[in-house]
Structure formats: C-alpha cells, structure tokens
Amino acid sequence: MIGATKTGEYWRTIEMLSKITGTNQQSIMEMLYFLYDSQYDNKDLKSMADLILRNQKECKKTSLNLNGVDFEGLETALKEFDENGIRAECGKWSVVRSAYDKQFEIHYEGYTVLDCVADMLSGGYRPNNQWNEQAEQKLKEIVANAYGLELHKTISSIDELKEAIENFGWNVYESGFGRKVYVEWELSKYSPAGEDFSFPVEHQNNPAMAVKAIRDYAYNFDTEEHIKLWVEAQDNISGVPSIRELVDDADAIQEMLDELSDFCSELEIEHENEYEYEKE
C-alpha cells in the first residue's frame, strides 16, 4: 500500500493536525517540539484533552442572563483562572492576569469590564446598552464571592486612605511644612519616561477632602503646560527626553492621574457627605 510507512503516517497526522487547528506546518512543528520538550506522555495528552472537555461542559451547565448580559461561563472561567493564574476563557468571558498594579482583568466579549487592584474591584468599559449598573454589580458580586474580595472598602480615616493609595502603587509622603500636625501629602510615582512625578494633596485629616483634591488635580492637569516646563528646562537640565517623548509621557501621566482618580472614586468614604464634590 502506497504511503503505508511510519513516515507516511507521520505526514497524515501532520496534515490532520493542520486542518483541525487551521495552522501551517511551521506552527505544527513548534507545537510538536514543545510537547516533546515538555516530556508529556500519551496519558498526559489525554488528561489535557479531558480538561478542555470538562471545561466546555461546565460552561453549559448554568446560564444567567441579566438585562441582556449573558453570565454563562463566568464562574467556570474564574475557577480555571484561580487554578492557573494566567488566563482562562469560557463562553463570552475571559479572565487575564494584568501587569503593573492590577492583579487581573475580567473581559466580556473582548472588552475589559472589571479590574481588580489591591484586592478591590472597580468597573471598566461598558460594551453595550445592556451593560448597566445592575449588571456590573452582579459581576462584582460573583467575582467577590469566588475570590473572597471586598466589593467596597470603607475608608474611615486618613491613614486608611493613605494605605489604599499606596497599595494602588503611589508613594505617599507626609508634608506638614513645619507644623506639628501633618495636613498635607505629596503623592509621587515614576512616569514611563522616568520622571519622578509628584503633586500635593491637602487633606486636613479628612479622607473625603483628600479624594476631592486628587480628583481636582487629575481633572485640571495641563499636559501642554507640563511639556512646556520640561522643554524650557532642557538647556539647564541634562537628560531631558525629546519633545516627542515628553508629549507621550505627559499623556501617560494624565492616564496615571485619571486611574488614581477613578480608584479613589470607587472607595466608600465614611461621612463623605460632609465634604461634597461633584463626580463627573
């Protein structure tokens, strides 16, 4: 029989794998070398296939639809992510490990709808009209129950707010200007271009006042003025980046400030109504 050799069987298997996966021979070769280097035996490969099959069945077990948002598969994805800590997918949901200060992100139909930062959950992008506050709250409840996280962290003192901001990745320094009681902070964080960026926050030992100061600074930050200051300093300070880099870095600083502002807005502040501020 033509092709009835071990080499012929190999080529037929390669062709079958290529059709099943929709990839070329180069990708199949890399996959096979990876499996060989991993020293998996046939039992291991069968276990991996069974794992995928069980995951697919789990996705179909329960379905929760809230105002057009399909929650089917979310709990399975959360469980799988808890086991591998890198990435998990099920149904329309995926959970991925994040870089920098975030621990993980929840994606729905490819959109980031929830972030976890410093063990606290905050809402992200709303991909459609059905994605309302009720759906977001339900998502937070499911994730919080799965991982033992807090839906809301109540801030009752200026020290608790300081700790929350530090956990979010900012440095917080006391600044009393010679007074016996510290009533102001200096918040600092390195920008992508390496600037030790900082700004003052007056709090008067009132966490709501501090949150307002942070939100106001983020809202009023002038990227053009920031760029201008560094351009003018180029003649006197060595190592100042190019104008293009300064523009990109100023935009990055604005994003850092917006993220901090959004994070603080998600916190529950005790007696917040004693110090009102407008939420955009």
Other C-beta atoms closer than 10 Å to the C-beta of 99 total 5
Contacts of 211 (CB under 8 A, 6+ apart): 161, 264, 265, 267, 269, 277
- The domain boundary, picked from 132, 151, 170, lies at 151
8 Å CB contact between 73 and 110: no
Instruction: Record the pTM.
Output: 0.52
Q: Are strands 268-269 and 154-155 parallel, antiparallel or unpaired?
A: parallel
pLDDT value, residue 106: 87
Alpha-carbon gap, residue 213 to 219, rounded angstroms: 10
Q: Let me know whether 240 and 266 are in one domain.
A: yes
Alpha-carbon gap, residue 174 to 187, rounded angstroms: 9
Nearest to 76 by CA among 56, 96, 48: 56
Q: Let me know whether 173 and 111 are in one domain.
A: no
pLDDT value, residue 102: 59
pLDDT value, residue 200: 93
- The domain boundary, picked from 102, 118, 151, lies at 151
The range of the structural domain enclosing residue 87 comes to 62-151
Q: Let me know whether 267 and 186 are in one domain.
A: yes
Query: Number of structural domains, the chain?
Result: 2
In a domain, 93, yes or no: yes
pLDDT tens-place string over residues 21-75 = 787 888 888 888 888 888 888 888 777 777 766 665 555 544 455 556 778 788 8
Backbone angles phi, psi at 103, to 5 degrees: -85, -45
Alpha-carbon gap, residue 250 to 237, rounded angstroms: 18
Going residue by residue through the chain, which has 280 residues, state the pLDDT in tens, using 9 for 90 and above: 444 677 777 878 888 888 887 878 888 888 888 888 888 888 887 777 777 666 655 555 444 555 567 787 888 888 888 888 788 888 888 888 876 555 788 888 888 888 787 667 766 666 666 677 677 778 888 888 888 776 666 788 899 899 889 878 899 998 765 555 557 899 999 999 899 999 999 998 899 999 999 999 999 999 999 999 988 887 777 788 888 999 999 999 999 999 899 888 878 787 654 444 443 4
In a domain, 86, yes or no: yes
Residues 81, 132, 116, 89, Cα dihedral to 10°: 20
Alpha-carbon gap, residue 145 to 190, rounded angstroms: 34
pLDDT value, residue 33: 83
Nearest to 269 by CA among 208, 224, 228: 208
Q: Let me know whether 138 and 170 are in one domain.
A: no
* DSSP result, the chain: -TT-SHHHHHHHHHHHHHHHHT--HHHHHHHHHHHHHHT--HHHHHHHHHHHHHHHHHHTT---EETTEE-TTHHHHHHHHHHHSSEEEETTEEEEE-STTEEEEEEETTEEEEEEETTEEEE----STT--HHHHHHHHHHHHHHHT-BS--EE-SHHHHHHHHHHTT-EEEE--TT-SS--EEEEEEE-TT--EEEEEEE-TT-HHHHHHHHHHHHHH--HHHHHHHHHHHTTTSTTPPPHHHHHHHHHHHHHHHHHHHHHHHHSEETTGGGS-----
Residues 261, 267, 269, 273, Cα dihedral to 10°: 60
In a domain, 56, yes or no: no
Q: Let me know whether 228 and 263 are in one domain.
A: yes
How far from 21 is each of 27, 32, 46, CA to CA, in Å? 10, 13, 17
Q: Let me know whether 224 and 142 are in one domain.
A: no
Q: Let me know whether 161 and 213 are in one domain.
A: yes
pLDDT value, residue 216: 95
Q: Let me know whether 130 and 86 are in one domain.
A: yes
Q: Let me know whether 107 and 159 are in one domain.
A: no
Q: Let me know whether 114 and 160 are in one domain.
A: no
In a domain, 44, yes or no: no
Residues 177, 183, 189, 191, Cα dihedral to 10°: -80
Contacts of 171 (CB under 8 A, 6+ apart): 187, 188, 189
